Amino acid sequence: MNTESAAAATAGAPGDRPARRPHVLVSAAMSVDGHIDDTSPERLLLSSPEDFDRVDELRAAGDAILVGAGTLRADDPRLEVRSAERRGARQGRGLPEHPLKVALVGHGGLDPELRLWQSGGDKLVLAPDAAAPALRTQLGARAEVLGTGPELDPARVLDALAERGVRRLMVEGGGAIQSLFLTAGLVDEIQLAVAPFFVGDAEAPRFAPPRAGVVFPQDTLRRMTLLGTEVLGGDIVVLRYAARRSDADVVTRDDIAWMRRAIELSHSCPRSETAYSVGAIVVAADGTELARGFSREGGDDKVHAEESALGKLDASDPRLRTATIYSTLEPCSVRASRPSPCAELIRAAGVGRVVLAWREPALFVADCQGVELLAAAGATVLELPELAAEARAVNAHLVS
């Protein structure tokens, strides 16, 4: 089976979300009246230097950055991580300097002289099957071109990226691409910078404009959850929303509060040069804390945080089935010191919701598969990348 056929065969309907699909973050800046640009020939700058730095940090934390052909043609972006320090940190984690750069093309071609093709990092172009051959001829070795079936299906796009190991996808625009993923119910998080501008032009591009002939699915019409706000540069307000379809898949403010407690707990871990410091808390569906644990608790230098917390509970406790376990690090999938890794312990306990702050880097284990194992077992697995730096800081002596 060729690559294109494999992607098509694994894709589901837009409303389905196989566990392997990436976490999708939509990032945008808009005016107070909802526009992402004006109609002048020059690009309207809606962000401050502080906000540009925030976006650069988001890029550095992701596996792929995605834009539409319209954005490439109009803005000619490079889509690079600008900070040398962040690029170095990515390389220190065994990652390329820049995330994979992905372009979605519905129709038409792409200029072979765009700055994207001269920038660093790998490039991938996704287009309907009918448009893919011409793009391959046009771009040559500048980018890999992959067909997505008869149309530009966002579910197939995510499946194709998952096959390439993309876990976190940042969608930067433009408006049509934002709408494409939002109307398919495939967006996990929105970070929206609101600038103190009033464009006042009905012809100006808007954030996530309505798609002609597309009705927003009723099961996605849920009230989004505000995760937080931040003021940058004095007058730019950044709004963060969780935008998943089901209650279990929505990150809440309580999730963030519990994770901060788990991070605080991780500071209790005895220092080790050969193991991470991790905190874990098990919380019932009604918000009651059931148990907590941390690495090397009780003088056992082999015990893991999740193992310690779950070991304090009766395995027959019915609350475990609807509980959430918060872990500051991705639960391990391979382990030499115990018969079962933590991902298996969580599965065996029946805990169906797992929230983590930081994916395990390739330091002691080449490729941790804790998230994949839990998702394959039917658990809902959510990440809080905005707290990853705090979880990582406890282990600064191990990883930079």
Is the pLDDT confidence value at 3 over 60?
no
CATH number of 253-393: 3.40.140.10
Residue 5 has pLDDT above 50, yes or no: no
DSSP code of residue 322: G
How is 212-276 classified by DSSP, letter by letter?
TT-PPPGGG-PPPEEEEEEEETTTEEEEEEE--SSGGG---HHHHHHHHHHHHHHTTSPP-SSS-
The whole-number pLDDT of residue 378 equals 82
Does residue 139 or residue 243 have the better pLDDT?
139
- Domains in the chain: boundaries: 3-247, 253-393
Contact between 394 and 262 under an 8 Å Cβ cutoff? The reply is: no
Q: Which residue has the higher pLDDT, 290 or 373?
A: 290
User: What average pLDDT does the structure give for the chain?
Assistant: 86
Kindly state the percentage of the chain with pLDDT values over 70. Answer: 90
Q: What is the pLDDT of residues 66-120, one digit of tens each?
A: 999 999 998 999 999 999 999 998 888 788 999 999 999 998 899 999 999 999 9
Which pLDDT score, from 0 to 100, does residue 19 have?
37
Residue positions counted in the chain:
400
31 close to 197: Cβ distance less than 8 angstroms? yes
pLDDT digits (tens, 9 = 90+) for 168-220: 899 998 899 999 998 888 888 899 999 998 999 999 989 988 876 666 555 54
Please give the average per-residue pLDDT across 242-257, as a whole number.
72
Helices then strands, counting H and E runs in the chain, come out as 13, 14
Q: What are the CA-CA distances from residue 123 to residues 66, 79, 117, 129, 296 (Å)?
A: 10, 10, 7, 18, 43
Q: Is pLDDT above 80 for 290?
A: yes
For the chain, report the end-to-end CA distance as a whole number of angstroms: 41
Residue-level pLDDT at 379: 87
pLDDT at 367: 75
Contacts of 296 (CB under 8 A, 6+ apart): 269, 270, 272, 275, 302, 303
The CATH class of 3-247 is: alpha beta
8 Å CB contact between 148 and 104: no
Q: How confident is the model at residue 44 (pLDDT cuts 50, 70, 90)?
A: confident
Q: Are 43 and 75 in contact (CB under 8 A)?
A: yes
Pairwise CA distance, residues 21 & 249, whole Å:
13
Dihedrals phi, psi of 111, to nearest 5 degrees:
-60, 125
Other C-beta atoms lying within 10 Å of the C-beta of residue 383: 21
Compute the radius of gyration of the chain from its Cα atoms. 22
- What pLDDT score was predicted for residue 261? 97
Q: Up-side HSE of residue 238: CA atoms within 13 Å toward CB?
A: 22
For residue 281, the model assigns a pLDDT of: 98
Q: Which residue has the tokens 């990436």?
A: 22
Considering only 199-203, 212-216, 268-272, 337-341, which range has the smallest mean pLDDT?
212-216
In this prediction, residues 333-337 reach a mean pLDDT of 84
For residues 61 and 59, give the distance between their C-alpha atoms in angstroms, rounded to a whole number. 5
Which amino acid is residue 93, in one-letter code?
R
Fold match between 3-247 and 253-393? no
Main-chain dihedrals φ then ψ at residue 54, nearest 5 degrees: -60, -45
pLDDT number for residue 135:
95
Percentage of the chain lying above the pLDDT 90 cut: 54
| pLDDT per residue as tens digits for the range 312-330 | 999 888 889 889 999 999 9
163 secondary structure, DSSP code: H
Q: What is the pLDDT of residue 168?
A: 85
